[in-house]
Structures are given as structure tokens and as C-alpha cells.
Amino acid sequence: MYEGVVQDLIDELGRLPGVGPKSAQRIAFHILQADPTDVRRLAHALTEVKEKVRFCTVCGNVSEADLCRVCQDARRDPSLICVVEEPKDVVAVERTREFRGRYHVLGGAISPIEGVGPDDLRIRELMQRLADGTVTELILATDPNLEGEATATYLARLLKPMGLKVTRLASGLPVGGDLEYADEVTLGRAFEGRRLLDV
């Protein structure tokens, strides 16, 4: 419908997650009218990220060096590991400023439907990190959905013989949420996990 290179750009943009044909068109026309240096900066950022970003050899988080910033930081508690599915989960946990331990990024969750089994995740690397006995607690922070729960259960069973403290993030009502709109599973979990108020 468009002239060659404009259509090429719309096609390439349309391949990005969450960018439909209409948004791709809108972004393409924005780029047509944008300052050339801005566009060059975006193109450069895209190629830079592919050239420079690797994955941390210890925890699997994104990193520009062999070790990511968390693994490099000597102030982070080495006895505590938070296990997450993806690098973006690390960012989500970091944002809470609640956690001062280290991470382990699995690279996904067990999902028979998508053909992802335990061997496709960085579980062997996790076991290696636990071998020297430094780690005493493992927090399983996989997503609170079917795949995340299955992965947490699998890991908990696998780790049981090692005598570690293995915990799972609490499920319950989201803060600022509305009880009326909570789904029954979440509300059920909130009842299960109810806490005594010490007043």
C-alpha cells in the first residue's frame, strides 16, 4: 500500500510485541517526520543492545559484563537467592527495595504446552550455585500462574533433600485493589494466607 521502504519499516515494526498494524503505521509516520539524529539514535540503540548485552554467567540476568551488577555487588547477601523466570522480574523485585540477596534467572517456566521442560531452564546452574553451602534460603518468585506454580513445586521437591529454607512469595489481594473485584482463586489464597494482627 505504501512506497517500498515505508512499507518495509511498517512490516518490521509490526513484528514487535504489542505493536499492531495501526501502531506500526503511526510509529512509521512519526519516524518519517522525526529528526534524523533521533532516528539514528534509536537504530543505534537497537544494534548496540544486540552487540553489548550478554547474560550474567552466574545468575543469568542481562549484563554488559561477565557478571551483572547484582552479582558484582559485594554488599548483596550471598546466602539468599531469589529465583525468577525472566530478567524483567529482577527489575520488578529490585524496584521494591525489599530484597538484598542475589538472583537466579531460570529463563522461563515449566510449560508442557509450550514444550518447556526442566532441562530447558537454568536449573542445573542453580544446583551448582547451591553446592558450596553458602546459600541458606531460596525464595521462589516465579509467576503466580499455572506454569510458575508448577516450576516452584518442581524446584521445592528437587531442593528438599538439601535441607535449605525454601519459601514462595505470598499470594493475596493486591494492595490498593478491591475485594469485590478479586477473582475467587486470589481471594481464596488471601484467606489461606491470612495473618494475625498484633495490635
Q: Is 59 in the site for its own copies (CB under 8 A)?
A: no
- DSSP alpha helix (H) spans, 64-175: 69-72, 87-96, 123-130, 146-159
**39 vs 146, which CB is nearer to its own copies?**
39
Identify the burial level of 106 via C-beta atoms within 10 angstroms of its C-beta, where 0-12 means exposed, 13-18 middle and 19 or more buried: buried
With CB under 8 A as the contact rule, the residue among 42, 127, 162, 170 that binds its own copies is 42
The kind and range of the H/E element at 62 are strand 62-63
Per CB under 8 A, which of residues 85..124 are in contact with its own copies? Answer: 86-88, 91, 94-95
String of contacts with its own copies for each residue 60-79, x by CB under 8 A: --xxx---xx----------
Q: Distance (Å, rounded) from C-alpha 102 to C-alpha 105?
A: 10
Q: How far is the CB of 41 from its own copies (least distance, A)?
A: 6
Question: Total residues at the site for its own copies (CB under 8 A)?
Answer: 53
Q: Distance (Å, rounded) from C-alpha 185 to C-alpha 179?
A: 12
Query: Which residues of the shown chain bind its own copies in the complex (CB under 8 A)?
Result: 1-6, 8-9, 11-13, 15-19, 23, 25-32, 34, 36, 38-50, 52-53, 62-64, 68-69, 86-88, 91, 94-95
